[in-house]
Amino acid sequence: MAKQRKQYVCQVCGHTTVKWMGSCPGCGAWNTLVEERIERPASSSSRFDFTQASATPLPLPEVSLLKQQRMQTGIREFDRVLGGGILPGSLLLLAGEPGIGKSTLMTELGRYMPDTTLLYISGEESPEQVRLRAERMGITSERFFLLPETNVERIRQTARELQPDLLIVDSIQTLFHPALQSAPGTVTQVRECTASLLQLSKEQGMATFLVGHVTKEGSIAGPRVMEHMVDTVLYFEGDRHHSYRILRAIKNRFGPAHELGIFEMRSDGLKEIPDPSGFFLTTRTYGASGTATVPTVEGTRPLLVEIQALVARTSYAVPQRTATGVDLRRLHMLLAVLEKRVGLLLGTQDVFLNVTGGIRMEDPAADLGISIAIASSFKDIPTDSQTVFLGEVGLTGEVRPVARLDVRLQEARRLGFKHAIIPRGNLQGLQPPEDMEITGVHTLQEALETAC
């Protein structure tokens, strides 16, 4: 006879406890424990059989290396983010806000991989809706199979019979395991369905994409353990009111993490943008104060972005500080350095900072560009439109060296920039690009005197 028990599961980390508590014992988050009733078989046997043939420990040099050939999707930006293509047997998680284009990106694979057997599990849309989207994108492949199903056991059975090269589950929050009583989308259901599909993917040597939603806080809906179970975590970002989309690898066991791909959303699907630097600088402003161009590096790709700052006298007792595309705490630190070490009186000024193109930067090399843009807006003096700025700013006002400077300068030179202000510590051994003037600075004060 089946036994029922009640437990509380954290919606953030997946930690379980037998009683409700205000904060999760696992991650410390407050008000995240949700009650779930789970039916477990009276038998002690597990729902999934992970038993394998007995193995013996081997010395590391004797372990055989299986070199599997990656599947090329035909979308260069997509292959770049994945590290060269899709590896058979891998489990990948694609997350993004509702309506951002995750289903469109997955359906796009049917156009560029017509010789690949693809099984598309539709848990949110009807087959007619998927068919209409495929026709709009010009997909007519007979190897594109569609299955409207949410029972993970039936999905496993169909995948074993069809043996596709690629399995797409849209979305993981709609699946349920029949052995569990909790509703689809709960922590327990998402964790168990992911584990079931992980076993299927490794067993069949079949690449599997799990489509997931993100919460209003920007994290993937479901337990954090799901991100540890998959091989690759991809974020699909962008503004639904604009055409550009950004695909970012947060985790990748088979390639570089934090790689970035740029796409444009059109009526007939997604179109890759092979030159994102030129794309983001297309509408660059000239002769206006408060702008600076920064060569940043996302993964292995150099990317030139424009930083815009607006500094205006505040009308409130506490000045406003707003940052889009940059960590707000980083902005607060740079404002403090500008006021303490340079003497800019920003305590009575509202400061608004924006990275154009929807790019979110975590590269510390952008510190100098951010500081230059803020000082340019405060003084209302335009910066040179042919100059790029590179350098990490320390708390004492020094400009510290940055990594991969040669790649950044080559990308700037390719787009026609003639001058670069860089940390003086990077000058030793530097071979600057042809016809490009390099100015080394030691302090933020020196950089400001040179730029504006």
| 223 or 348, higher pLDDT | 348
d(CA 194, CA 200) in angstroms, rounded, equals: 10
300: tokens are 């292995």
pLDDT of amino acid 56: 83
Query: pLDDT per residue over 67-112, tens digit each?
Result: 678 899 989 999 999 988 999 999 999 998 888 899 999 999 999 9
Q: At what angle do helices 367-379 and 328-337 cross, to 10 degrees?
A: 60
Architecture of domain 72-274: 3-Layer(aba) Sandwich (3.40)
**pLDDT of 432 higher than 90:** no
pLDDT of amino acid 268: 81
Q: What is the mean pLDDT of the chain?
A: 87
The residue length of the chain stands at 452
Query: pLDDT per residue over 374-420, tens digit each?
Result: 999 999 999 999 999 999 999 999 999 999 999 999 999 999 999 99
Alpha helices in 65-118 (DSSP H): 76-82, 102-112
Residue 115 exposure: Cα atoms within 13 Å on the Cβ side: 4
pLDDT average, residue stretch 117-135: 93
Amino acid found at 147: L
pLDDT of amino acid 140: 85
d(CA 272, CA 80) in angstroms, rounded, equals: 11
pLDDT average, residue stretch 333-349: 95
Burial class (CB in 10 A: 0-12, 13-18, 19+), 394: middle
Query: pLDDT per residue over 219-276, tens digit each?
Result: 665 666 788 899 999 999 887 667 788 898 989 998 888 888 889 888 888 888 888 8
Amino acid found at 270: L
**pLDDT of 358 higher than 80:** no
Are 107 and 134 in contact, with CB atoms under 8 Å apart? Answer: yes
pLDDT of amino acid 50: 45
pTM for the full model? Answer: 0.78
d(CA 265, CA 104) in angstroms, rounded, equals: 9
d(CA 28, CA 24) in angstroms, rounded, equals: 5
397: tokens are 């006002």
Angle formed at CA 81 by CA 78 and CA 87, multiple of 5 degrees: 80
β-bridge partners, 392: 400
d(CA 239, CA 261) in angstroms, rounded, equals: 15
Give residue for tokens 């047997």.
89
Handedness of CA 120, 126, 130, 131 (dihedral sign): positive
283-451 matches 72-274 in CATH topology: no
**pLDDT of 424 higher than 90:** yes
Give residue for tokens 């789970």.
38
| 371 or 138, higher pLDDT | 371
β-bridge partners, 203: none
CA dihedral 395, 396, 397, 399 (to 10 degrees): -80
Domain boundaries, the chain: 3-40, 72-274, 283-451
Cα→Cα distances 450→30, 97, 376, 445, 446, Å = 49, 43, 12, 9, 6
pLDDT of amino acid 54: 59
Are 378 and 371 in contact, with CB atoms under 8 Å apart? Answer: no
pLDDT of amino acid 274: 81
Query: What share of the chain in percent tops pLDDT 70?
Result: 91
Per-residue confidence at 40, pLDDT binned at 50, 70, 90?
low
Amino acid found at 60: L
| CATH code reported for the domain at 283-451 | 3.30.230.10
pLDDT average, residue stretch 349-378: 93
pLDDT of amino acid 412: 94
Give residue for tokens 């993100």.
214
In three-state secondary structure terms, 448 is helix
| 279 or 399, higher pLDDT | 399
246: tokens are 């950004």
Handedness of CA 148, 157, 206, 52 (dihedral sign): positive
Query: What share of the chain in percent tops pLDDT 90?
Result: 55
φ, ψ dihedrals at 416, nearest 5°: 95, 10
d(CA 258, CA 235) in angstroms, rounded, equals: 10
**pLDDT of 148 higher than 80:** yes
**pLDDT of 438 higher than 80:** yes
Per-residue confidence at 216, pLDDT binned at 50, 70, 90?
low
β-bridge partners, 9: 16, 34
Are 374 and 294 in contact, with CB atoms under 8 Å apart? Answer: no
pLDDT average, residue stretch 416-439: 92
418: tokens are 């003639």
Least trusted range by pLDDT, from 63-67, 170-174, 439-443: 63-67
Are 192 and 47 in contact, with CB atoms under 8 Å apart? Answer: yes
Least trusted range by pLDDT, from 44-53, 202-211, 324-333, 371-380: 44-53
3-state secondary structure 26-53: CCCCECCEEEEEEEECCCCCCCCCCCCC
